[in-house]
């Protein structure tokens, strides 16, 4: 009997309408599941080559700053989320020694729970975000690269850089349908002690299946400009970009 959900498979990567072989799933579906599981585990446990990432940024003409958390292994990163939310003492000193402190946007990148996502999409997304910042005359500081960081780390870095908005690009927790999604979190007036309620999130950045780099960058800049203009972020700041871009209905009397 044909599975009535089979026609819906072209709309989603979710595992629906897999079929049946006796009381189990077909061999092809089982192998596909095991492959996806292996890719998800690899995304979590592979270390991020942050030095090579910095070299690639330099080749693109972008300045970066490598910082560190107190974490020294992926195992520790998974067991101690709290240690991924702070910088180590040497990194704090490096930030304190920086001159400037007048950035509009502090850009931070960390591999988070998916090194695969940052390796695959990080450079292209940063290129799009930086281009949007420059086109809108938003000042950005050196791009902070931090291995084994958590989202709240953006508060400490953004505050130290004196930025009005902190934007952190992070590898999202991998699933069995996607192991390479990037997320972006934006916080107005970053400072240690902020809660997640102060953050806006843009998720599932991974073209071609997910959000494109250009669309994600446009949303980042829209939210950053609105956050600066209205001095809010998180639950107080809604993404109304799509509504603003929607064509206005024709006034009465102009219908054709």
Q: What is the pLDDT of residues 38-60, one digit of tens each?
A: 999 999 999 999 999 999 999 99
Write down the pTM of the prediction. Answer: 0.89
Domain 50-235 homologous superfamily, CATH: Ethanolamine ammonia-lyase light chain (EutC) (3.40.50.11240)
Give CA–CA dist 140/137, Å, rounded: 9
Known binding residue 132? Answer is no
Q: Which long-range contacts (CB under 8 A, 24 or more apart) does 141-144 make?
A: 141/100, 141/103, 141/105, 141/106, 141/107, 142/63, 142/64, 142/65, 142/98, 143/57, 143/62, 143/63, 143/64, 143/65, 143/107, 143/108, 143/109, 144/64, 144/65, 144/67, 144/106, 144/107, 144/108, 144/109
Residue 62 has pLDDT above 70, yes or no: yes
Residue 248 has pLDDT above 90, yes or no: no
Q: What is the pLDDT of residues 109-166, one digit of tens each?
A: 999 999 999 999 999 999 999 999 999 999 998 999 999 999 999 999 999 999 999 9
Known binding residue 201? Answer is yes
Lowest mean pLDDT among 176-185, 228-237, 239-248: 239-248
Known binding residue 172? Answer is yes
Q: What are the residue ranges spanned by the domains of the chain?
A: 50-235
Give CA–CA dist 197/191, Å, rounded: 13
Q: What is the pLDDT of residues 166-221, one digit of tens each?
A: 999 999 999 888 899 999 999 999 999 999 999 999 999 999 999 999 999 999 99
pLDDT at 255 (0 to 100): 47
Give CA–CA dist 77/84, Å, rounded: 7
């Amino acid at each position: 009997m044909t599975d009535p959900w089979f026609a819906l498979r072209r709309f989603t990567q979710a595992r629906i309408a897999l079929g049946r072989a006796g009381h189990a799933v077909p061999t092809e579906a089982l192998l596909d599941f095991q492959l996806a599981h292996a890719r998800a585990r690899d995304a979590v446990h592979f270390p991020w080559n942050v030095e090579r990432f910095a070299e690639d940024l330099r080749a693109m003409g972008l300045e970066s700053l490598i910082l560190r958390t107190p974490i020294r292994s992926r195992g520790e990163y998974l067991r101690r989320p709290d240690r991924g939310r702070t910088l180590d003492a040497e990194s704090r000193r490096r930030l304190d020694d920086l001159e400037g402190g007048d950035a509009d946007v502090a850009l931070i990148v960390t591999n988070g729970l998916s090194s695969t996502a940052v390796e695959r999409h990080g450079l292209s997304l940063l290129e799009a975000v930086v281009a949007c910042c420059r086109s809108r005359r938003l000042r950005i500081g050196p791009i902070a690269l931090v291995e084994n960081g958590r989202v709240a780390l953006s508060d400490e870095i953004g505050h130290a850089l004196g930025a009005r908005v902190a934007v952190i690009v992070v590898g999202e927790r991998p699933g069995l349908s996607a192991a390479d999604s990037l997320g972006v979190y934006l916080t107005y007036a970053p400072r240690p002690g902020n809660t997640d309620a102060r953050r806006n999130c843009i998720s599932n950045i991974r073209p071609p299946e997910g959000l494109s780099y250009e669309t994600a960058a446009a949303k980042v800049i829209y939210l950053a400009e609105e956050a600066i203009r209205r001095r809010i972020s998180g639950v107080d700041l809604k993404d109304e970009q799509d509504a603003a871009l929607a064509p206005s209905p024709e006034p009465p009397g102009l219908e054709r």
